Structure 1
Amino acid sequence: MPVITAPQAFNEEDLYVDLAPMLGHRLFLKCEGFNFAGSIKLKAATEMVESAERSGTLTRDSILVESSSGNLGVALSMIAASKGYRFVCVTDSRCNLTTRLMMEALGSRVHVVSDEHAAGGLLGARLAHVRALCAADARYVWLSQYTNADNWRAHYFRTAPAIARWFPRLDVLFVGVGTTGTLMGCARWFRSWHRPVRIVAVDSVGSAIFGDPPGRRMIPGLGMSTRPPLLDEAYVDEAVRVDEVDTVRTCRNLARRGFLFGGSTGTVVSGAAGWLARHGTPGLTAVAIAPDLGERYLDTVYQTNWVQALYGEDALDPGRQADGDAYPTTSPPTGITRVARVTPGGR
Structure 2
Amino acid sequence: MPTVSAAHELFDTEVYLDLRKLLGTKLFVKFEGFNFAGSVKLRAASWMVAAAERDGLLRPGCTLIESSSGNLGVALAVVAAGKGLPFVCVTDLKCNTATLRLIRALGAQVVVVEGTDDSGSHLEARKAYIREKCADDGTYVWLNQYENPANWMAHYDTTAPLLAKRFPDLDVLFVATGTGGTLTGCARFFRDHQPGVRVVAVDSDGSVNLGGKTGPRHIPGIGASAPMPLIEPELVHDVVRVPETDTLRMCRRLAAQGLLLGGSSGTVISGALRWLGTHDPDQSLTAVSIAPDLGERYLDSVYDDDWVADAYGAATVAGWSFDA
SS of the equivalent of 1:135 reads: helix
Which residue of 2 is the match for residue 168 of structure 1? 168
1:25 deviates by 1.6
What do you get for the CA RMSD once the two structures are aligned?
Answer: 1.4
Mapped partners of 1:112, 1:269: distance in 2: 30
- Alignment TM-score, normalising by the size of structure 1: 0.90
1:277 deviates by 1.1
1:184-333 to structure 2, matched below 5 A, reads 184-194=184-194, 196-280=196-280, 281-316=282-317, 317-318=319-320
| Structure 1 contact 177–223 (Cα < 8 Å) conserved | yes
Q: Deviations over 1:99-134 (max 9, x none)?
A: 000011111111111111114611110000010010
Which residue of 1 is the match for residue 156 of structure 2? 156
Mapped partners of 1:83, 1:59: distance in 2: 12
Q: Which runs of 5+ in 2 are unaligned?
A: none
| Structure 1 contact 251–263 (Cα < 8 Å) conserved | yes
Mapped partners of 2:48, 2:120: distance in 1: 25
Q: Report whether the alignment pairs 1:46 with 2:46.
A: yes
SS of the equivalent of 2:29 reads: strand
| Structure 1 contact 202–271 (Cα < 8 Å) conserved | yes
Which residue of 1 is the match for residue 92 of structure 2? 92
| Structure 1 contact 200–239 (Cα < 8 Å) conserved | yes
Mapped partners of 1:31, 1:226: distance in 2: 27
**Aligned AA (1:288):** S
Which residue of 2 is the match for residue 180 of structure 1? 180
| Structure 1 contact 47–150 (Cα < 8 Å) conserved | yes
Mapped partners of 1:3, 1:236: distance in 2: 36
Mapped partners of 1:168, 1:56: distance in 2: 38
SS of the equivalent of 1:277 reads: helix
Mapped partners of 2:285, 2:320: distance in 1: 26
1:24 deviates by 1.9
SS of the equivalent of 1:210 reads: helix
Which residue of 1 is the match for residue 65 of structure 2? 65
| Structure 1 contact 248–315 (Cα < 8 Å) conserved | no
| Structure 1 contact 13–162 (Cα < 8 Å) conserved | no
Mapped partners of 1:285, 1:314: distance in 2: 37
SS of the equivalent of 2:185 reads: helix
SS of the equivalent of 2:168 reads: coil
SS of the equivalent of 2:133 reads: helix
**Aligned AA (1:245):** T
1:319 deviates by 6.2
Which residue of 1 is the match for residue 133 of structure 2? 133
Q: Deviations over 1:162-220 (max 9, x none)?
A: 00111111111000001000000000000122450111100010101122332111100
**Aligned AA (1:293):** L
Cα separation, partners in 2 of 1:125 and 1:75, compared to 1, 3 Å: same
The percentage of counterpart residues that share the same residue type is 53
| Structure 1 contact 253–318 (Cα < 8 Å) conserved | no
Mapped partners of 2:13, 2:180: distance in 1: 20
SS of the equivalent of 2:209 reads: coil
Q: Deviations over 1:275-323 (max 9, x none)?
A: 1111113321000000000000000001111112222344334469xxx
**Aligned AA (2:267):** T
Mapped partners of 2:101, 2:271: distance in 1: 30
- Alignment TM-score, normalising by the size of structure 2: 0.96
Mapped partners of 2:86, 2:160: distance in 1: 31
